[in-house]
Amino acid sequence: MAEVDQERGLVYDIKLSSVGPGNVTGQDSIFEARNMDLAMKLHYIRCVYYFGSRAFEGLTTLAIKEPIFVWLNRFPMTAGRFRRDESGRPYIKCNDCGVRFIEAKCRTSLDEWFEMSDDIAMREKFLCSNSIIGPELSFSPLIYIQLTKFKCGGMAVGLSWAHVLGDVFSAAEYMNNWSRVATGFGLNRPINKMADGPTKPKYFNGRVKVSEDPLSVKRVDSVGDNWVFAAKRKTAAFSFDVTPTQLSHLRSKLSRNGIDSPAFEAISAVIWRCIAGIRGGESEPRIVTICKRSEDNEKFRVLRNNQVVLVVKAESPVMEANPSDLAALMKNGGIDERAGIEEAVERDHGLPDFIVYGANLTFVNLEGADFYDFEYSGQKPVRVSCRIDGVGENGAVLVLPAAEGGGGGRSVMAILPENEVAAVKSELKREGFLLMG
C-alpha cells in the first residue's frame, strides 16, 4: 500500500472536464453494437503515448481541446452513452455527452519516470483512467483522455477505451485521426454508419449453427449494467523490451528450413513454453488464443472489433516442445473463431457476458497497430505502451512495435496471475529477455 500511495503522489493537480462534438448530432442517432463488439464489453484498452517537451509546448488547454471538437464530429458514437432496447440489448445513443478529459501533473521528468526501478506498467495506471462502464450506463463515458505533464515539459497522453467500441487497431486509428485534425490534415477513414433507431442485429446467415460456446471465449456470470470482470485470481501487469539484437538471435534460433521465425510467433512461443513450465501438469495451457489485425482493419478503418481471433491447440506437452515447433504452430495452426463468437452472443440476443482475453492464455499481435502515426506539433511519441484490463486468470501477452528508431525491437506487456509473475520473470531472464538484479 505504501508503494501505491507513493506512486499516486507522483501524479497530482488532477482536473476533470468533458469535451463533446462541436456540432449537434441528430437527436435520434444511435450506433449499434455488433455481436463481436458485445463479446468484448468487459474488456478495456489502456494506452499511454509519451511525448517530448516540444509536442505540447506553449499550448493551452483550450488550444488542445479545439481540434477535439472537430474530431468528435466524425466519431459521435465515442461521445455517446449506452442504453438498452426493449429486449435488453445494448446500443449507443449518440447524445453528445462527450468524452472525459483529464489534466494532471507529474513530479518527475520523463527521463526520471523511465529510469525508476519499479515496473513501469504499475505506474502507468496513474497516467490513464482505470474507469469502466456502469453501474449507470447512461452516465458512463466510453472514453477518457488524460494529459499528464512532466516537470521537464514532456507529456503523457493516456487513452482509456471501452473495447466494446472497437479493437486496439481501431483505438490507434482513432487517436491518429485526432492528430490529423490537430495538424490540419483530413481524416483517413470513412464515417461509421449510424442508424435512426435500433434494428435487428446482423450476423452471418441469420440462424444459429452451434449450441456450444467457442473455445476462445468464456461465459461469465451476468454483470448487469456494471461492465467489469474480476478474475478469481488477482492479475498483475509487467512489461519488458526485446532489443533488436535479442530478437534477431531468437528468430535465428527458432528458424526452420533456413527461414527465421516471425518476430511475434518467436516471442510468443518462448513465453508460452515458460508459462507452461510454471503451471505444469494438467494446468499446462495447451490451448491458446491469438488475436491479430484483420484485412478489414486495414481496408475499412472503422471503429469495430474486426481483429482476427484464432485458437491454437498443442497435441503434446508444451513444456517439452521445441519452441520452433510452437512458433510454426502459432503461425499456421490457428482456427478462426469469429463466426462462433458472433453466434454465441446472438443465441441469447446479445445479453450474455463473456471474456476473450484470458479465457485461454491469449497472445495479441499488435505489430500492425499504427501507434507511432500519432503526431502532435510534428512530434512522434518517444514510447507507446498498451495494456488490456478485464483479463481472465489464464492471462494475456501483448506484443507491440518498439519506438521508431528502436531498430526493429519489440515491447511486451504481460498480464498474468500475480502469483506467477516472479516465476515468469525468472524464466524470461533465463531465456535472455530480462536483465534483472
Beta bridge partners of 238: 414
Q: Is the alpha carbon torsion for 54, 373, 390, 423 positive or negative?
A: negative
Predicted confidence (pLDDT) at residue 436 exceeds the cutoff of 80: no
Q: Which of 40-54, 237-251, 369-383, 403-417 has the lowest mean pLDDT?
A: 403-417
Of all residues in the chain, the percent with pLDDT exceeding 70 is 89
- Fold match between domain 2-182 and domain 218-430: yes
pLDDT in tens, 226-267: 999 988 899 999 999 999 999 999 999 898 767 788 999 999
The C-alpha cell at 92 is 449507443
pLDDT band at 437; cut points 50, 70, 90: very low
State the average pLDDT over residues 272-284: 93
Confidence band of 350 (pLDDT split at 50, 70, 90): confident
Q: How far is CA 352 from CA 89, 135, 200, 219, in A?
A: 10, 17, 17, 7
pLDDT at 332: 94
Which pLDDT band, with edges at 50, 70 and 90, does 1 fall under?
very low
Coil, helix or strand at residue 16: strand
Strands of 319-428, DSSP E:
335-336, 353-355, 361-365, 383-389, 396-401, 410-417
Task: Say yes or no to pLDDT of 333 above 80.
Answer: yes
Q: What is the pLDDT of residue 173?
A: 94
Average pLDDT of the chain?
90
Instruction: Give the residue with greater pLDDT, 312 vs 407.
Output: 312
State the number of CA atoms in the 13 A half-sphere of 306 facing the CB: 17
Q: How confident is the model at residue 4 (pLDDT cuts 50, 70, 90)?
A: very low
pLDDT at 159 over 70: yes
pTM for this structure?
A: 0.92
Residue 299 has pLDDT above 60, yes or no: no
C-alpha cell at position 41: 464489453
Q: pLDDT confidence of 2, banded at 50, 70, 90?
A: very low
Q: Domain ranges in the chain? A: 2-182, 218-430
Locate all alpha helices (DSSP H) within 160-255, ordered by sequence: 168-182, 244-253
Rounded to an integer, the average pLDDT of 148-175 is 97
Q: Which of 4-18, 289-303, 413-427 has the highest mean pLDDT?
A: 413-427
Give the tens place of pLDDT for each residue, 184-218.
Answer: 876 655 455 544 333 444 434 444 455 689 999 99
Residue pair 22/73 in contact (Cβ under 8 Å)? The answer is: yes
CATH-assigned architecture of domain 2-182: 2-Layer Sandwich (3.30)
Report pLDDT digits (tens) over 98-139.
Answer: 999 999 999 999 999 999 988 899 999 999 999 999 999 999
Band (pLDDT 50/70/90 cuts) for residue 404 is confident
Q: Which CATH number fits domain 218-430: 3.40.640.10, 3.30.505.10, 3.40.50.720, 3.30.559.10?
A: 3.30.559.10
Look at residue 25 in the predicted model and tell me its pLDDT. Answer: 86
